[in-house]
Amino acid sequence: MNILVSWDMLDANDVELIRDRTGAAVLQAESKEQLGELISQADVIFGFVHPSLLARAERCHWLQIPYAGVERVVSVPWGNPEMVLTNGSGIFGPNIAEHVMGMILAFNRGLHVARDYQHSRTWQWAKPYSFRELTESCVGILGFGDIGRHVAKRLAGFDCQVIAFRTVPRGDEGYASEVYALSELDQHLPRLDYLVCALPHTPKTAGFLHKERLRRLPKHAVVINVGRGSLIPEQDLVEVLKAGELAGAGLDVLPQEPLPAESELWSLPNVIITPHNSGLTPFFKARALEIFLENWASFVETGRPVRNVVEREKGY
Residue 168's pLDDT band, with cuts at 50, 70 and 90, is confident
Query: How high is the pLDDT of residue 179?
Result: 94
Average pLDDT of the residues in 26-48? 95
- Residue 127's pLDDT is 87
User: End-to-end alpha-carbon separation of the chain, Å?
Assistant: 27
Q: Once rounded to an integer, what is the mean pLDDT over residues 224-231?
A: 97
What pLDDT score was predicted for residue 126? Answer: 84
Domains of the chain, residue spans: 2-90+283-302, 93-273
Q: With H, G, I as helix, E, B as strand and everything else as coil, classify residue 95.
A: helix
What are the pLDDT digits (tens) for 245-254? 999 999 999 9
What average pLDDT is seen over the chain?
96
pLDDT tier at 173, thresholds 50, 70, 90: confident
Domain 2-90+283-302: homologous superfamily in CATH: NAD(P)-binding Rossmann-like Domain (3.40.50.720)
How would residue 170 be classed by pLDDT, with cut points 50, 70 and 90? Answer: confident
Ranges assigned E (strand) in the chain: 2-6, 25-27, 44-47, 62-64, 84-86, 138-142, 161-166, 178-181, 194-197, 222-225, 248-251, 271-273
Q: What is the pLDDT of residue 161?
A: 96
Q: What is the mean pLDDT of residues 231-244?
A: 98
93-273: same fold as 2-90+283-302? yes
pLDDT of residue 97: 98
Judged against a pLDDT cut of 90, whether residue 316 lies above it is answered with no
Tell the CATH topology of 93-273.
Rossmann fold (3.40.50)
Read off the pLDDT of residues 96-136 as tens digits, 9 standing for 90 and up: 999 999 999 999 999 999 999 999 999 988 889 999 999 99
Q: Tell me the per-residue pLDDT of 157-167, one tens digit each, with 9 for 90 and over.
A: 999 999 999 98
Q: Looking at residues 48-66, what average pLDDT do you find? A: 96
Contact 223, 246 (CB under 8 A): yes
- Is 172 a residue whose pLDDT tops 80? no
pLDDT-based confidence at residue 315 (cuts at 50, 70, 90): confident
- pLDDT tens figures, 58-95: 999 999 999 998 999 999 999 999 999 999 999 999 99
* pLDDT level of residue 226 (50, 70, 90 thresholds): very high
Active site residues: 228, 257, 276
- Per-residue pLDDT, averaged over 204-229, amounts to 97
Residues 273-280: contacts with CB under 8 Å, at least 24 apart: 274/99, 274/103, 274/250, 276/252, 277/252, 278/92, 278/95, 278/96, 278/99, 278/100, 278/226, 278/252, 279/67, 279/68, 279/91, 279/92, 279/95, 279/96, 280/95
Provide the pairing of β-strand 271-273 with 84-86.
unpaired
Burial string for 221-247 (b: 16+ CB within 10 Å, else e) reads bbbbbbbbbbbbbbebbbbbbeeebbb
Among 73-87, 166-180, 201-215, the minimum mean pLDDT is found in 166-180
